[in-house]
Structure 1
C-alpha cells in the first residue's frame, strides 16, 4: 500500500527542495512519492519567506501544513545531552508537523506555520548515531530515563509516526536501534500509524503516546488522532515489540481539570493489556505557553486561548528568543503537580512516574 494513502492530513502540492537533497537517494525517493507536486528550488530549508517568519500566514495555517513539504539536508549532526525524556536528543531527520496543536513550541522556532521538513541525508545521520552510541559503551548507572540503555529522542521537533507516512527515515532509525545493544530510540506521538506495527523493533524503540482529557484534546490537539484511538493503540504497539510509555502533556489547569484527568486514567486502565500495564511509565508536563504564540492563536483559534492564556494563574519568564514564556505560578504549580501525581498513583498504581514538572 502507498504510504500516503493512509494519511488524510497531507495533500502535498508543492515541494520546496534544496538541490543537494534532490541528488540524494532518499530525496529522490520522496520526490518520486509525490510525482504531481510542483517543485520549487530553494537555497536553504531554513529560509523560505512564503512559509516562515510571516505571522500573517495564520489565515493559511492549515493549508500550508497540508499542501507544502520541504526537502533539505541536515547540516549539523550533534547528539545533545538531555536527561528527561532521553539521555540524548538525536540529530533530527525531520522537523515541523502537519498537525496544529495550539500550544506547540516548535513553530516558534521557524515561523509558526512550519510544515514538515524532511532531511534526505539519512545515511549520514544513521552513521553518526551508530558511532555516537558505540562511544557510550554500557550504561553502568541506572537513571530515570532507562535503567540499562542509552536512550535517544529521535523526534524532538516532529512527530515520527506522521513523518513515517512521508519517508522511510523513521523506519531506518527503528531498524538501526534494533541492532544497537546499548541504545534505544524514543519519540512522542499524537498520531496513530498502524504501519509501525510491522517493523519488529524488538524492544529497542520506546513510543510515548501523548494523552490528555478528550475535551481538552478536542479544543487543543488540532488534526491529531483522537485520544480514544491513542489509548486503544497502546496494547497493540506493546504486542508488536515496542516499549510504550505515556506523556500526560500538556496538563492544562481549568475548572474541573482533575475530574477530567480522573476520567482519562479510568479509560486508560480499562484499555490496557496485562503486558502493557507491566511496562508502563509516564511523563507529566504542565503547560508552558508563549506570548507570541498567544497572539498568533488569537488570529485562528481564540477559544484555545481561553484556557491556555490565564494571567491570573501564570507567571512570565523571558525566553531565549526574546519573547515571554508563561508557566503556572510557583507554589501553585507544586500543588497542581502533587494533586495530579497523587491521583495517578491512586488510579493506576502500576504506572511509574518518570518525572513530573
Structure 2
C-alpha cells in the first residue's frame, strides 16, 4: 500500500494567499496545522537553500506546506512533454525522489508550494489556446491538440490532495476544443478517476524497475500499483502514457527493464494498448545534489553517481550537471528502444534523450 504522502503539520502562508478563497479551502482542509505568516513563498530561509536541513528532508516534505500567490503567469514553449509549459499551479513535492531536478532549483527539501490564484492560471492557458486556434500539423506531442504540461515543477496527483487546482484545470481542458493538459506522476491518486476528463487530460505514469524504484523513488506509489492503475484511468476517460524517467544505467539494467516491460504488457487491456505512448529520459544528475544525497541517502548515489559512464554537462541555467557520456548515450537509447519494441511493439516512443 502507498504511504500517505502528506501529514501537514505546518503551513507557511503569504497573507494574500490566506485571504483568497482557495487559500481558505486549503487552511480548512488542514485545521490542526500550525500557521506561520511569511512575506514571500519563494524566499523562506527556514526552508530554501539551507543544506543543514538535509537531516529533516523527508519530515519537511511530509509535514510542511507553503501557500502563495503566483506572480508571473506565462506560457513557455516546450516540444517534449507538451507543446507548452503552463503557468505553475504548484512548486515542489511531498515525495523525495533522490534525482529530482526541482530540488536542485529551489533549496533542498523543497516541500509543496501551492498557488491559490488558479483562476489566473486557467485564464492564461485559455487565452493562449484561443489565440493559437486549431492545431493543423501533427507532431510527436499530439496529432490534434495543443498540449500544456501543467506539472513541470511538482506532482499533480499529490497536489490534488491539497485543494481543487487540478480538478479546476481538468474542467478547463474538458471545454477547450483545441487543447489538452498533461502531467507526469509517481503517485496513484484514485480520486482523479472521478474528474471526468473526457480524453482532454494526459496522465503519464512514471515507471522504472521496481527494485530500482525502492531505492530511488522515496515516498512514492509502488511500481506495481502504478501499473495496475493504467487501465482504470483509461476507463475513466484519461489518456494514459508512460514516462520512463529517469532511465538509470547499471549492471543488469537491460534485464530489469525487460522484466518491467513484460509486467506492463501483461497488465494492459487492448484499449489501453491502443492509446499508449511513452517518453524516455536518461538520467541527468547534479554535483551539488549528489553531495546532499550522500548525507541522507548514500545508497542511492551508488546508482546515480557513476563517473565511469558520465561526463560533465552545464545546463541552460548554468548548473553543473552530469549525464551519460555522449559517445555511449546514443547506444544506450538504441538498446532501450529495441527492448521496448520487442516487448511492447504497440507502445510508440514520442521522444527519447
The two structures have a TM-score, normalised by structure 2, of 0.98
Match of 2:94 among 92, 98, 107: 98
Report the 3-state secondary structure (helix = DSSP H, G, I; strand = E; otherwise coil) of the residue aligned with 1:177: helix
For 1:151, the equivalent position in structure 2 comes to 147
- Match status 1:262 vs 2:254: no
Match of 1:200 among 196, 208, 218: 196
Using the TM superposition, give the Cα deviation of residue 318 of structure 1 relative to its aligned residue in structure 2, in angstroms. 2.3
For 1:333, the equivalent position in structure 2 comes to 329
Whole-angstrom CA distance in 1 between matches of 2:229 and 2:49: 36
Whole-angstrom CA distance in 2 between matches of 1:243 and 1:53: 37
For 2:287, the equivalent position in structure 1 comes to 291
- Match status 1:20 vs 2:42: no
- Deviation per residue, 1:33-84 (Å, 9 max, x gap): 1111111111100011111110111000011111110000000000100001
Asked if the contact 2:5/2:158 (under 8 Å) is kept, the reply is: no
Aligned pairs for 1:107-186 (under 5 A) are 107-186=103-182
For 1:316, the equivalent position in structure 2 comes to 312
Aligned pairs for 1:229-268 (under 5 A) are 229-268=225-264
Whole-angstrom CA distance in 2 between matches of 1:19 and 1:9: 26
Match of 2:340 among 339, 344, 350: 344
Asked if the contact 1:292/1:323 (under 8 Å) is kept, the reply is: no
Report the 3-state secondary structure (helix = DSSP H, G, I; strand = E; otherwise coil) of the residue aligned with 1:268: helix
Whole-angstrom CA distance in 1 between matches of 2:181 and 2:174: 9
Alpha-carbon RMSD = 1.0
Whole-angstrom CA distance in 2 between matches of 1:87 and 1:356: 16
Question: Residue 178 and residue 94 in structure 1: after superposition, are their counterparts in 2 closer, same or farther (change >3 A)?
Answer: same
- Match status 1:303 vs 2:267: no
- Match status 1:73 vs 2:65: no
- Match status 1:189 vs 2:185: yes
- Deviation per residue, 1:247-299 (Å, 9 max, x gap): 11111110000000000000000000110000000001100000000000000
Asked if the contact 2:89/2:114 (under 8 Å) is kept, the reply is: yes
- Runs of 4+ in structure 1 deviating by more than 6 angstroms, as ranges, are none
The two structures have a TM-score, normalised by structure 1, of 0.97
- Match status 1:43 vs 2:49: no
Whole-angstrom CA distance in 2 between matches of 1:155 and 1:318: 24
Question: Residue 61 and residue 290 in structure 1: after superposition, are their counterparts in 2 closer, same or farther (change >3 A)?
Answer: same
Using the TM superposition, give the Cα deviation of residue 7 of structure 1 relative to its aligned residue in structure 2, in angstroms. 7.1
Whole-angstrom CA distance in 2 between matches of 1:151 and 1:57: 37
Whole-angstrom CA distance in 1 between matches of 2:85 and 2:315: 20
For 2:209, the equivalent position in structure 1 comes to 213
Using the TM superposition, give the Cα deviation of residue 128 of structure 1 relative to its aligned residue in structure 2, in angstroms. 1.3
- Match status 1:278 vs 2:279: no
Question: Residue 178 and residue 120 in structure 1: after superposition, are their counterparts in 2 closer, same or farther (change >3 A)?
Answer: same
Whole-angstrom CA distance in 1 between matches of 2:236 and 2:18: 34
Report the 3-state secondary structure (helix = DSSP H, G, I; strand = E; otherwise coil) of the residue aligned with 2:135: coil
Report the 3-state secondary structure (helix = DSSP H, G, I; strand = E; otherwise coil) of the residue aligned with 1:331: helix
Using the TM superposition, give the Cα deviation of residue 319 of structure 1 relative to its aligned residue in structure 2, in angstroms. 3.4
Asked if the contact 1:102/1:222 (under 8 Å) is kept, the reply is: yes
Report the 3-state secondary structure (helix = DSSP H, G, I; strand = E; otherwise coil) of the residue aligned with 1:74: coil
Using the TM superposition, give the Cα deviation of residue 108 of structure 1 relative to its aligned residue in structure 2, in angstroms. 1.2
Asked if the contact 1:245/1:282 (under 8 Å) is kept, the reply is: yes
Asked if the contact 2:3/2:219 (under 8 Å) is kept, the reply is: no
Return 5+ residue gaps in structure 2 as ranges: none
Asked if the contact 2:170/2:197 (under 8 Å) is kept, the reply is: yes
Q: How many residues align?
A: 352
